[in-house]
Amino acid sequence: MMMDALQVHIYVSSWCDKGCPECYYPKDLGFMGPSTSGAVILWLCNLLKTENVKMLKVLFLGGEPLTKTGMILQMIDGINFYKPELTKPHPDGEFLIFTNGDRLNPLILDEFKKRKVRVVLNPCHDPIEKIESKINLNKAYMGGCSLAIALDEFNLARLPELTELAIRQKSHIRTNRLYHGGVIPGYIEKYKESMTKMFRLLLLSDWVMWPNFIMESTYPTWEGPKNPNACGRWLLIVDPDGGIRSCNADMETKIGSIYTHKKMADFEFSHRWSAKTLPECQGCEWITWCQGGCPYTRKLTYGTYEKRSPFCEPFKELFPLLFELKSRWKSRSKMTCEM
């Protein structure tokens, strides 16, 4: 048997100097140690071989992952050295760093470039001018830069301005709405309003933006009836101590450890991003792409996974705009292939 894809998120640090109040990851002074990072390399490469993984994607996060830049470079080198030759690089980039960018410098970026690592920049609450400076620094070495915008109240209000920056810099956007947004008064309405403005600006521009991850964690460029979410199937979260969870934000979803869980059959996922058990989602034209919305958001809003997302109505209005972006992206990709 061959496993089509495996996505692993590795948290090398739980410390960050930003202190953003809405960040989902617990902040302390915990770091991944060298013995653990070595164990992660061996665990992952053995898993790739055991499961005959066709495609691998590894994300490094925190806290601020660049507090452990040397360790990340060593882990990438180790994974590249030990992984099975049949495992193909992910077409969107095999290694990604999610960072606030404060520690980026020419030396680090040069090392990332050698290893074909993609940088995804979290703007946090930086001024637009500072964000643009970080993008320009990254582009000078890497050729491009994506933005992962955490949609707290501050960034929701300036999402159109951030979108204009992305258009100007030819940057792709990933928006991360708050997991607990469903219980914040007025948040859903503000989300719909700001996201609509973002889509309109993108569709009126000449910039053909990659549409994946711009709404929830969906892959709208995928075709067919498959569930376009990794959650609960082929996504594993590794914490600094080597513990493994099934959800980035939900600390209660621990399902194992790199020291005890060596193959996918060892894991019992506590939840899965699927609308199969949600009667209210059946018959919806967007069920393939939405799957009822993020399970953790449902849990925080209703205390259960067995209800559809509180963002259901905004999603129904936004999905047609998302698929306009998809159409533009697919058309551009087709033209590029034919040239």
pTM: 0.94
- The structural domains of the chain, with segments of one domain joined by +, span 3-271
> Mapping DSSP to helix (H, G, I), strand (E, B) and coil, where does residue 120 land?
strand
310 Cα distance to chain centroid: 21
Q: Is the pLDDT of residue 335 over 60?
A: no
- The half-sphere exposure of 36 on its side-chain side, counting CA atoms within 13 A, is 19
pLDDT score recorded for residue 339? 43
Average pLDDT over residues 277-305: 94
pLDDT score recorded for residue 23? 85
pLDDT score recorded for residue 136? 97
Q: Is the pLDDT of residue 90 over 60?
A: yes
Nearest by Cα to 98 from 133, 49, 149, 54: 149
Q: How many helices (H) and strands (E) does the chain have?
A: 10, 10
Q: Which fold does the domain 3-271 belong to in CATH?
A: TIM Barrel (3.20.20)
Which stretch of 38-42, 82-86, 139-143 has the lowest confidence by average pLDDT?
82-86
pLDDT digits (tens, 9 = 90+) for 18-53: 878 888 887 776 899 999 999 999 999 999 999 999
What's the chain's average pLDDT? 92
Q: How would residue 225 be classed by pLDDT, with cut points 50, 70 and 90? A: low
Q: Is the pLDDT of residue 338 over 70?
A: no
